[in-house]
Amino acid sequence: MNCLWEQIMLEMQVQMEKMQTSKTAEIEAQVEMHVTQLQDTMQAEKEQELASLKQCYSHNNKNGQVQQLLKERLDITQDINIITHELADVAEVHKYKYEDGPGPDPTNLVFDLTRNHSTPWNMFILNLLTQELQERCVEEQWVIMQSDNYILDILRDCYK
């Protein structure tokens, strides 16, 4: 009878060890799953923050690049300087508007400050500057490329 009793106790001990091993494996699997989820969440948050920083850098960099382009092409160092900048010849602007004139001189850009930014004369200049900035973006291999409309909006804001 003792032998039977010992055998039963041994079997119970084996079963308990199996249950503990099984429970330990289950807990380890749950911990591993939670760790993986946390790592994924942290990675997603990190990527989102990085994208946000890149966007912020890109916007600030684009504004800086627009200012640099205006300084190089028009000798305008601040937005307010557009107002005091040399004016386009009214007769030339009129001729260009009615397709009788050549339009702005790409080597000597001057805005028509008697009108808003959306006149054919001013849009020619803004589009030319946008194209130049996009070319610079490609040449210098900027990290984030922006649409022409985005850059044009920055230029329009400078003109206002």
- Span 3-32, mean pLDDT? 80
pLDDT band at 81 (very low <50, low <70, confident <90, very high): low
The residue with greater pLDDT, 26 or 84, is 26
Confidence of residue 113 (pLDDT cuts 50, 70, 90): confident
Q: Residue 89 corresponds to which tokens in the numbers above?
A: 């010849």
User: Over 70: is that where the pLDDT of 109 sits?
Assistant: yes
Distance between CA atoms of 160 and 82, rounded to whole angstroms? 9
pLDDT in tens, 34-79: 878 888 888 887 777 666 555 544 545 667 777 788 778 877 766 5
Q: How far apart are CA 70 and CA 35, in angstroms?
A: 52
Residues 6 or more apart whose Cβ sits within 8 Å of residue 101: 92, 94, 95
Q: Using an 8 Å Cβ cutoff, are 123 and 55 in contact? A: no
pLDDT value at position 56? 46
Look over the chain and give the mean of its residue pLDDT values, rounded to a whole number. 79
| DSSP 8-state code for residue 101 | S
pLDDT bracket for residue 26 (50, 70, 90): confident
120: tokens are 């054919």
> What pLDDT sits at residue 69?
81
Amino acid, res. 90: V
